[in-house]
Amino acid sequence: MHAILPLDTDQPDFTAGPRRHSAEAEQRWLLQYLPLVKRIVRQLALQASQVMDREDMEQIGLMGLLEGLRRYGEPDAQFPRFASLRIRGAILDELRRLDWRPRQLRQQTHRVRDAIRALARQLGRVPREAEILAATGLDCAAYQEHLRAECGEAIESLDVLLQEQHLQFAGETPGPEARVLQERLLSQALAQLSERERLVLTLYYQQDLSLKEIALVLEVTDARVCQLVKQALGRACQFLTEAA
């Protein structure tokens, strides 16, 4: 692994926005919040490691962090949440540019999803993993890959929606009123979820745990965590979309 190099923020082609801090202050803040970048990269790497390595993701995340610093002003207790949106947004934008889910993988995901829905209708209940494997012809490894892809889509959908909500409220500069409005919406969205669903999202978005780590905390399988994440994010996205 190569060390993360400090960003050269004085380059004329650097486009993170107008500077609000001195170069020294920016480097200090970047180093302070580098662990946040690394945690977000660790989360996203599970879904995206096949198209971008962690070092590149961290560099892009640092660009998002710097943009956040320049838009936000002096960091305070609320800054990490704002910065997280910028970091995740920067990485996801680049992943989309690289087509991190090739067409063949997307088609396979849709086929498996349709097969699972048909099986659920046939059984009149949520199918068990063994029944899904038998119906789709997937082995355990391929099914886990499908679940990770499903999780990735759900996580990306909520991240994009949160970013859109933030821009809608905040414009170019996130003032206190905009942050309060966004916090209120998020609280209302979480209130629509079950206790277990809220716990999963809290562990992921606030405690910065990976899906595998959440599975260990809840003492369930990775597959079950993916199901909970997808279910919770789907309901949260629906609420935020209707509230927009």
Give the separation between CA 208 and CA 52, rounded to whole angstroms.
Answer: 20
Torsion of CA 153, 88, 167, 243, to 10 degrees: 40
- Asked if 228 contacts 202 with a C-beta cutoff of 8 angstroms, the reply is no
Give the separation between CA 104 and CA 111, rounded to whole angstroms.
Answer: 11
Give the separation between CA 43 and CA 202, rounded to whole angstroms.
Answer: 14
Torsion of CA 119, 124, 128, 131, to 10 degrees: -40
For the chain, domain boundaries: 16-100, 139-244
Output the CA torsion sign for 206, 211, 212, 218: positive
- Asked if 89 contacts 103 with a C-beta cutoff of 8 angstroms, the reply is no
Q: For tokens 């490894």, name the residue.
A: 141
Identical fold for domains 16-100 and 139-244, yes or no, is no
* Nearest C-alpha neighbor of 133 from the set 151, 148, 121, 116: 116
Output the CA torsion sign for 129, 134, 136, 140: positive
User: Domain spanning 16-100 has what CATH number?
Assistant: 1.10.1740.10
Q: Letter for the amino acid at 190?
A: L
Whole-number pLDDT of residue 169: 44
Whether the predicted model's global pTM rises above the 0.75 cut:
no
- Asked if 231 contacts 197 with a C-beta cutoff of 8 angstroms, the reply is yes
User: Domain spanning 139-244 has what CATH number?
Assistant: 1.20.140.160
Tens of pLDDT, residue by residue, the chain (244 residues): 444 445 555 544 445 555 667 888 899 999 999 999 998 888 777 666 667 788 999 999 999 999 999 988 888 888 888 888 889 889 888 877 776 666 677 777 778 888 888 998 999 987 888 898 898 888 888 887 777 777 767 766 666 666 665 544 444 445 555 556 666 777 777 788 888 888 888 887 777 777 778 888 988 877 788 888 888 888 877 877 776 5
